[in-house]
Amino acid sequence: MPTDRAEKKVSRFPVKVCVSLLALFVLLGHVYMKTDRIDGTAVGLLAIAILPWLADLLETLELPGGWKFHFRGIEAEQTKQRMMLEQLQLAVRLLLTDVELRHLKNFAGTAPMPLHRDGTTPNYEKELRRLRALGLLEGSVGPFFREGGDAHKYLRITDEGIKYLRFRAEQNEQVLPP
């Protein structure tokens, strides 16, 4: 994430320079038109020229007249909302049954998962194929059901699968009372 922050600073640099130069240009024009007199407008323009450079250092700036600028709070709120939106999108896309969730948790663990051939085998195969189709598992379902053995040999949980399990765990913690 530090690289994201550095990239944001680099991408905002030209905007900062443009805002500052424009404000300074208007300030010089204003002072020149008023015959070298500094007034409230000149001070405001100077503040606008400096403001982009202070944004990285300040959390809030309150100016006379009720003007208030929030810097870090807005960025933190946007980051929080972006994360919540990503989690919601992931949850909607990956709604799982209890049985599918149990299978996914088993793949996140290291305990052996031997194939037991019984009346539930066709459902088990469909559930694993669905988890694979959703991108939560990777590998081959077919050879596992043909050859048997440990499912970990044929299938692995993906990063998306791990993310989903973390999200579900976080949601369970939020739902439970403290």
Please state the pTM of the whole predicted model: 0.50
What mean pLDDT value characterizes the chain?
79
Three-state secondary-structure class, residue 129: helix
- 45-72 burial: b if 16+ Cβ within 10 Å, else e: beebbebbeebeeeeeeeeeeeeeeebe
Beta bridge partners of 68: 62
d(CA 27, CA 23): 6
In this prediction, residue 151 has a pLDDT band, given cuts at 50, 70 and 90, of very high
Q: Per-residue pLDDT averaged across 105-122, rounded?
A: 89
